Amino acid sequence: MATVTTTTAAVAIPEKWAAKVLMATEANLVLANLVDRYDSDVKESGDIVHITNIGNIATSDVTQGSEVTFTANTETENTITINQNVAAAVEVADIARIQSQPNLVSKYTDKIGYALAKDIDTKIAALSTGFSQTVAAGTAWTIEEVISAIELLDLADAPSSDRAFVIDPRSHSQLRGLAEFTLYDNTGAKGVQTGANNGMVGNVFGIPVYVSTNVLQTAGTPNTSENMMFHKEALGLAMQKSPTIETDRNVRKLTTDVVGNVLYGVKELRDSFGVRVDFQYS
């Protein structure tokens, strides 16, 4: 006796597309909010930001009846060149836009915004290669590596405020094994339970810790993350044109064009205010 199977009835069995889509995973982008910003200096015009470095004034002994000694510093400067003109764009044909179940233009708009933000974050993270001060955490963290990095910032007279420690998830796992990072008695962090960090970033010796998969991986050195401990003045970002997304109808091609653009520059400004903490994972 013949049986109706899924093969013989294939034309009667519909295929369904879920209304929900799986968006590509996105890194936690944190660096742009942790560095010194010079956006307002280039909002209207210009291609280079000049930042004056004011040196300290020397003291001298006073001799009664004589003039004091005057100091005339020859000051230096730092510059940030606005040379990162980056775009991300998608062209969606009308038939694809109309017939697709998820709103492709909306979804791609979100992804273009993320692409531009990640470009900024990535290029700031790449500045870690310029830090002359480094600490090697090896393959297993101890609190001594963290203390050594903090000591370098202290020796450079970097203010204790506005510091940050940006690490990758593998380094975060290592820090979770250190009581100085996880125990409430040591961190004093509100909402942190004893012996656990609740999956949230915390602080170590008062320095906020941020976790991102966008931390630079050392070129030519397998499995090494370039974690960054720095004061905000170590790195500079000048955003001349914030990420902007525009949608345009192309009647000649019957498409909808979605284009995002950003214009900015990044630069290491104070080398002594930054420390690279290398962690080699297996």
Spell out the per-residue pLDDT of the chain, length 282, in tens. Answer: 776 657 857 877 676 565 665 666 678 889 999 999 999 999 999 999 999 999 999 999 999 999 999 999 998 999 999 999 999 999 999 998 888 888 888 899 999 999 999 999 999 999 999 999 999 988 888 889 999 999 999 999 999 999 999 999 999 988 888 887 775 444 444 433 333 333 346 888 889 999 999 999 887 777 889 999 999 999 999 999 999 999 999 999 999 999 999 999 999 999 999 999 999 887
Distance, CA of 225 to CA of 169 (rounded, Å): 10
What pTM was estimated for this model as a whole? 0.85
